[in-house]
Chain A
């Protein structure tokens, strides 16, 4: 026999007063307060003497949006609060260096876990040295910020719990400073580099990193002080890295992957990447210079091409023998000067075509000649491609206005607005006469977990 719970749930009968809530213990009231938005939570301190001390001991989530906060209010909250700081977020407020310095100092004492600094205006905000005192941080987004000169380069940085780091429009005083920052994050699992300045070559070595994302400005430009943008990203040694994602790569950086034995997802790779080293394989502007079949773990590949053609796609397929899912995005602009690259002399058998490639997504498919050729090639040669009659699943939207649920295979890949299908597609139609077309909204970046993408066997064509 076990007799359970200590305190009673039977509240004293509402004899004189009706404020039964006052009979609840502090810890329960604190939980309730921690569910309130900041302003509402602060107002509870006016309720009574007892309530006055509740909010200051509740876990603090100090966010300056959606309701804006003035600097004085932030200082007041940090001075009066003695609970742990869960979250600190500045999006609407641009603090003075002195204010931010003392806030971060105070937050470090409160063992801040999650930091978001995204100050408005064009000028990057110089981070105070007290940022390095926030050693309890688990995740940090630093947008439009500039790293202070000293500590990072000196190797004094230590964020022993930081798992997620996102640097956007971020300026480092030197390559050494940025390298020092990363070196000080021993448990980092996710790193996002979105327009990073002041470091031309970044070398990544991390035993814990799972996901690495990189993107650059639309056009090549310099931040203040001629700090140039990232030009080369070297993944020297990342034994746990599973996803290497590039977004908006228009003119760089070059990407060298030296050792990433568990890499499963790679993309978008496009002509904006001047040099792509994948182990011993080398592509220059997406043209193969040297091809070696490696990276057996890679399951998902996304390519971004102007007028996708068979040859360069096949080169990539050759490199990744275990590939299961291929995304190809067509650019809108098709330069007339491009010549058709035929793929008659296919070097060696392409393992992923024969054994693994089950899903192909052609995004922005416009029915151009080369696109049709690519689609035809994949249907003919990808032997385990599963063309399933339905492709509706969570995360995929079927657009009913564009397409009836059952579309025949021939019209699927034919140029749009043209009547008769090319006769070559008879084979695909025979293989599965009830092939249906899904207009899928698929974004490599938002597909989580990666296995979700892998489990959708299909060709998906996204018509632009």
Chain B
């Protein structure tokens, strides 16, 4: 897993790269896992991130990056199999279990993850976190959604607008 402050990372087996979070923590990780990020993949293909260099990620803090890498490491083997067409049902079930648990997190962490997944272009993680938010919205009234997402209570003016809108889109509330 993420090993802060590690030095040269090429010990024969898998190629390692170093990622540096905004708060200057170094994460050494297999290139295959980091390459789940479309953004990083290009740099890594160019030979970047190895040795003492490291790829700085000024917009991702260490807590978020550690979480992101946890996802990448878990999903890298399946991704290497080209979407894992020959993965066993057990493998798939295990990944699904991991995913479900992975997004069972505080909303602030979830949104940080969404931004990181978006910026790093990690497709699987983007869908996973987007789906999590969609599930939080599903089946709720606008007021319930506002509460779930932590919106402040509507002003009277906002409330009036909401009511008018709900009338206009009556079919959506049947």
Residues of chain A at the chain B interface (Cβ within 8 Å):
1-11, 14, 16-25, 27-28, 31-33, 35-40, 42-49, 52, 67, 69-70, 72-73, 76
**B172 nearest CB neighbor, chain A only:** A42
Instruction: List 13 contacting pairs A-B, 8 Å CB cutoff, sorted by A.
Output: A9-B118, A17-B152, A20-B150, A21-B149, A24-B111, A35-B130, A36-B134, A37-B138, A43-B142, A47-B149, A47-B151, A49-B161, A73-B172
Complex-state Cα separation, A33 to B149, whole angstroms = 14
- A1 contacts B48, C-beta separation under 8 Å: yes
**How far apart sit A251 and B151, CA to CA, in the bound complex (Å)?**
65
A8 to B162, alpha carbons, bound, how many Å? 31
Known: A4-B119, A11-B112, A18-B150. A46 touches B166 (CB 8 A): yes
- How far apart are the CA atoms of A453 and B23 in the complex, in Å? 55
Contact B146 A47 (CB under 8 A): yes
| Contact call B145/A6, Cβ cutoff below 8 A | no
Contact residues in A for B171 (Cβ distance below 8 Å): 39, 42, 69-70, 72-73, 76
Query: Is the Cβ of A9 less than 8 Å from the Cβ of B59?
Result: yes
Give the size of the chain B interface in residues (CB under 8 angstroms): 53
A48–B151 contact, CB under 8 A? yes
Q: Is the interface of A mostly helix, strand, loop or mixed?
A: loop
Residues of A within 8 A of B152 (CB): 16-19
**Bound-complex Cα distance A21 to B146 (A):** 10
Q: Is the interface of B mostly helix, strand, loop or mixed?
A: helix
Contact pick for B162, options A21, A46, A67, CB 8 Å: A46
B138/A10 in contact, CB under 8 A:
no
- Give the Cβ gap from A104 to chain B, nearest Cβ, in Å: 20
Closest Cβ neighbor of A5 among chain B residues: B119
User: What A residues does B39 contact at CB under 8 A?
Assistant: 4-5
Q: How close is B62's CB to chain A, nearest CB, in angstroms?
A: 11
Asked if B108 contacts A46 (CB within 8 A), the reply is no
CB 8 Å contact bits of B156-174 with A (1 = contact, 0 = none): 0010011001100101111
Q: Is the CB of A24 within 8 A of B150?
A: no
Q: Is B56 an interface residue (CB 8 A)?
A: yes
In the bound complex, how far is the Cα of B111 from the Cα of A18, in angstroms? 12
Q: Do A28 and B118 touch across chains, with their CB atoms under 8 A apart?
A: yes
Contact call B120/A17, Cβ cutoff below 8 A: no
B161/A43 in contact, CB under 8 A: no
**Contact indicator A32/B130 (Cβ below 8 Å):** yes
List the B side residues contacting A73 at CB < 8 Å.
171-172
Interface pair A44/B137, CB less than 8 Å apart: yes
Q: Which of A11, A32, A42, A70 lies in contact with B108, CB distance below 8 A?
A: A11
A48 touches B158 (CB 8 A): yes
Known pairs A10-B22, A33-B134. 20 more at Cβ < 8 A? A2-B55, A6-B119, A7-B59, A8-B59, A9-B61, A9-B115, A10-B115, A14-B108, A19-B151, A22-B151, A24-B114, A28-B115, A32-B130, A35-B131, A39-B172, A40-B140, A42-B169, A42-B172, A43-B142, A44-B145
- When A19-B149, A32-B137 are in contact, do A43 and B173 touch as well, CB less than 8 Å? yes
Expressed in whole angstroms, the Cα–Cα distance for A31 and B169 within the complex equals 21
CB within 8 Å of A: which residues of B?
22, 39-40, 43, 46, 48, 53, 55-61, 64, 107-108, 111-116, 118-120, 126, 130-131, 133-134, 137-142, 145-146, 149-152, 158, 161-162, 165-166, 169, 171-174
**Residues in A neighbouring B114, C-beta threshold 8 A:** 24, 28
A4 in contact with B55 (CB, 8 Å): yes
Contacts of B138 in A (CB 8 A): 36-37, 40
- A20-B158 in contact (CB<8A): no
Q: Inside 8 A of A38's CB, which chain B residues have their CB? A: 172
Of A1, A3, A7, A76, the residue contacting B115 (CB under 8 A) is A7
| Cβ-defined partner of A5 (8 Å) among B48, B60, B111, B165 | B60
Q: Please give the distance in Å from A172's CB to the nearest CB on chain B.
A: 35
Least Cβ–Cβ distance between A19 and chain B, in angstroms: 4
Q: Which 10 A-B pairs have the closest CB atoms?
A: A18-B150, A5-B119, A9-B115, A73-B171, A42-B172, A46-B142, A35-B134, A9-B116, A8-B59, A2-B43
**Are A20 and B118 within 8 A (Cβ)?**
no
- Give the residues in chain B near A35, CB-CB below 8 Å: 130-131, 134
Are A11 and B130 in contact, with the CB atoms below 8 A?
no
Name the CB-closest residue of A to B133: A32
Q: Which residue of A lies closest to B118 (CB)?
A: A28
> In the complex, A18→B141 CA distance in Å?
19
* Residues B57 and A4 in contact, CB atoms below 8 Å apart: yes
Q: Is the CB of A11 within 8 A of B48?
A: no
